Structure 1
């Protein structure tokens, strides 16, 4: 994936590689890290104007604005002009700079063409891109539904005077637990195997999502008493 963090290995590629090596030890598994290739391609093509720091900002800092998706939208639909106006309208509405996204978009088609040529030049029997793409599609759908449901439940349950604090906590707490969860999952996978850990993670996610169907107790804000009512 083009926006995988540059300072962290891809967990999906690592799991897929380990699983294939274990189940098909006679086959040769080769990895293609599109995120590193994308950062190198931008650095080379723009003579250093688009640096790895710009890649990190687009993939990590702008994730909630979906600017990274817009960079490759023209390639996805086979139309260089498809979706060009949307980032501009979004930037005016949210006051988000999109100059970097526009600059990267100019090189997206050439990058995809080069990647396809390099992969097919090795004459592979199977390309694991489709399972990763299916995962990304499923994650994109479920993550969007999850975020909408979580924000709705948060606004219904949290008192109005605490909405800002609750929103700040929900933004800070989940990313802070990612390293601990990754280390724990890696240790469990080494001891129990990949399949039980992945199955347990999926079950936990489904149970957490089921909490949205639990009844919520919503309290209406108390109205201030009028001066006439206090005097009486």
Structure 2
């Protein structure tokens, strides 16, 4: 049903010039071609250090014509991407759009932070009491947990609201979310494959650092022309 819903929304798009494909990827400093010839001598062995190395997180967006100017963002993170980092980038990206746009994006957790999300059954009873009370439902700490669980189920919001969706609407845009496990519906995924391949072929000599990888990525993005975008888009 999620797939059908997504495809119905996509079929209603009239102007694909204003559709933006958004995504974020991880790329390691040691990312390189994974095969090489060797004659088993020291001179012919790989120069790439063992392991993946430091990790870059790349956020970008593109249209049928090009990457959206000013939407690229890259960080060197030791932890996972989180909602705060993504929301800051997403808000900045929206300011790059010259006119109302439709943003295609996936549903990873930091894209999908809910507004007024009901507590889970595993949370503290105090939280399970506070949420119904805040929403005008009679609840108190003396109730059994089973009663609180029933209250939560009976008063679940009919529509899930996401912070990112609201931010997009406030800036005059809207987003269409991909169905689960269908990232192939996002044209930028094929663009990432080309860019990562370009980076791997040029990252074969020391130093293997995030700063060097960032320069390679910037170079790779410059090689992405309108023709490349159109080829990927129409292949989709």
TM-score range normalised by the length of the shorter chain: under 0.3
What is the TM-score when the length of structure 2 is the normalising length? 0.23
Question: Is the helix fraction higher in 1 or 2?
Answer: 1
- Structure with the higher fraction of residues in strand conformation: 2
- Alignment TM-score, normalising by the size of structure 1: 0.23
